[in-house]
Amino acid sequence: MEKQALPASSCSLVLLEETKKSPITLSNGGGGSVVGTACVGQDKKGGVVNGAGPGYQERETWTRQMDFIMSCVGFAVGLGNVWRFPYLCYKNGGGVFLIPYLLIVFVGGIPIFFLEISLGQFMKAGSINVWNIAPLFKGLGYASMVIVFFCNTYYIMVLAWGFYYLIKSFTATLPWSSCNNEWNTPSCIEIFHHQDCKNASFANITIGSSNMTCADLADARSPIIEFWENKVLNISSGLDEPGKMNWELILCLMAVWVLVYFCVWKGVKSTGKIVYFTATFPYVVLIILLVRGVTLPGAYDGIMYYIKPNWSKLEEAQVWIDAGTQIFFSYAIGLGALTALGSYNRFNNDCYKDAFILALINSGTSFFAGFVVFSILGFMAAEQGVDISQVAESGPGLAFIAYPKAVSLMPVAPLWAALFFFMLLLLGLDSQFVGVEGFVTGILDLFPGKHYHRYKREIAVAICCLLCFIIDLSMVTQGGMYVFQLFDYYSASGMTLLWQAFWECIVVAWVYGADRFMDDVARMIGYRPFPWMKWCWSFITPCVCIGIFLFHLVNYKPLTYNNVYVYPWWGEVIGWCLALSSMLCIPVSLLYKLFRAKGTFKERWAHLTTPVWGAHHLEYMAPDIKSLSSMSPGIDDNKVIIFESVM
């Protein structure tokens, strides 16, 4: 890797005599420690710099830069792009929704996305040690670790359900397409005949061969809903009735966790290869499904519902809030995983260009997926003779109810069902194992090289997967869906991510210094990014984050399931504990460090906001760093050079 030298004028050299001492332990920027002679100094803004002698070990890097791009695509492009964005677009005025969406992409999404990747690349550390840039705010790292741990825990349940549906798709007749199964109730009806009821003059006229009247249709249930609730979930009446475990789901969950473990256990060298398949194949399936979707009757009407602009929606605050929340969800901001991925980049990688490429891929995928989803939903609405608003859903409702219902109406239904759920599995799988990678990277960075163990990484990944699996067992019970919704609604919600993003901007822009960090980025990529980034970090993005955060807080509504079941008070308390467990990490850690420090408040602040540099900073920035490697401890006339850098 190319090493950049500072001009002679940018450093002041101080020569100190070094007495005979034993080698000292140093930080290598990634949490690992090495033994050798040290070069310790302070930058002009007070940063403590740790360098290394001949024992310095470089952090693992991507085999090629495309590995990083693919990993970011795999992580950030996930289920939310397919099952949440299209619905929000339809609900919030069709094509008009793109105006607030794109606006917030440029004032919130890209600036923070770039901030997290560049920060990881600059500090060469995971989500905790990366905040050595301002050690007082290391609570940001702990908060992101808590969020990504919760996310890893509940997100994999979607993969377990998808895997279950995938297995059930390999049958001649899809099990959710008929009412002739053991889990079906007398209320089950395959075709609703809404049009017949509209034309009928009496409400008690018998419809079809089901011996149901039009009046009974209000209570009728489709076979796909009964398959989902009675067979897959076997759902109980509430959170206070966990019921028994579903052994089929336990096996699916175990299989997915084993798959994730073997994708992650060897680090970025293996993960970077796997994502080539898991990140690209969903696009192949999306294209196949789009070609099939647009050829179906009713597809044109569905797509028109999706993109038809409704300009009056721009006046509603909720539209702008939905756009902002979706950006933070789909860009995977605040989870610390992007920081971990960036930390494996070469120091001189052009992460500024990467941020724009990844943002384009992410948002482009969301928009493209809308055409796939709504062409199918348009067909489904036409087949059932209902308005598309009655079949348009988001989240698990789209993945496990609306879409399976649509494919059951197609010729060769098992093929299309298998394709869709295979795509769903891959979309979630790469997001999952990159999330686990980010969590494990943060944990391993806390244990320096002196704690070296040959299988340290494999053991850490195994413990992480096992712990998450044990918690997941609460979600494969009859009351598991209620637990899943608690995690989804509170632990990695819009509020926790917005809180995290707000503090990231404040710390980098106002504590460390926006201009200072822009200089650091210029040092890495060879040119200074457009000042827009600095303005966003300093003013615009924090205002957007705190604005949406307060809106969520003011308009908070208690959690419900299917708009019918209201969670008990103690369920909400558990939910708020999940949310606050990450949000309180920042203020609690800050206050703890301030109280433990000595001196006046000004002295404590100055000491605790002094960056702690890693050895790699000197390696890339010192003009004569190579001369240090010729020194060896124990020789009287050795000199140690201390640099005051202008990073």
**427 labeled part of a ligand binding site:** yes
**CA 479, 481, 484: angle at the middle one, nearest 5?**
120
Q: Provide, for the chain, the percentages of residues in helix, strand and coil under a 3-state DSSP scheme, each rounded to the nearest 5.
A: 65, 5, 30
User: What is the Cα–Cα distance from 25 to 23, expressed in whole angstroms?
Assistant: 7
Eight-class DSSP state of 567: P
Amino acid at 599: G
Contact 241, 481 (CB under 8 A): no
**431 labeled part of a ligand binding site:** yes
Contact 139, 361 (CB under 8 A): no
User: What is the Cα–Cα distance from 41 to 641, expressed in whole angstroms?
Assistant: 9
Integer-rounded Cα radius of gyration of the chain: 27
H or E segment at 565? Answer: strand 565-566
User: What is the Cα–Cα distance from 331 to 353, expressed in whole angstroms?
Assistant: 16
**CA 68, 123, 434: angle at the middle one, nearest 5?**
35
User: What is the Cα–Cα distance from 339 to 120, expressed in whole angstroms?
Assistant: 4
**430 labeled part of a ligand binding site:** yes
**77 labeled part of a ligand binding site:** yes
Eight-class DSSP state of 473: G
CA 538 to chain centre: 24
Conformation bin of residue 599: beta by default, left when phi > 0, alpha when psi is -120 to 50: left
Contact 422, 167 (CB under 8 A): no
Cα-based distances in Å from 351 to 78, 143, 239, 358: 21, 24, 45, 10
H or E segment at 360? Answer: helix 351-384
Contact 420, 445 (CB under 8 A): no
CB contact set of 178 (below 8 Å; sequence gap of 6+): 190, 223
**630 labeled part of a ligand binding site:** no
Q: For 473-509, where are the alpha helices, taking DSSP H only?
A: 480-486, 494-506
Sign of CA dihedral 350, 356, 360, 361: positive
Contact 396, 484 (CB under 8 A): no
**180 labeled part of a ligand binding site:** no
**493 labeled part of a ligand binding site:** no
CB contact set of 304 (below 8 Å; sequence gap of 6+): none
CA 158 to chain centre: 14
**322 labeled part of a ligand binding site:** no
Instruction: List, as one string, the DSSP characters of 324-346.
Output: HHHHHHHTTTTSSHHHHHHHTS-
**76 labeled part of a ligand binding site:** yes
Eight-class DSSP state of 197: H
Name which of 53, 5, 40, 56 is nearest 644 in CA terms: 40
Show binding-site residues for Na(+): 74, 76-77, 81, 330, 362, 427, 430-431
Show binding-site residues: 74, 76-77, 81, 330, 362, 427, 430-431
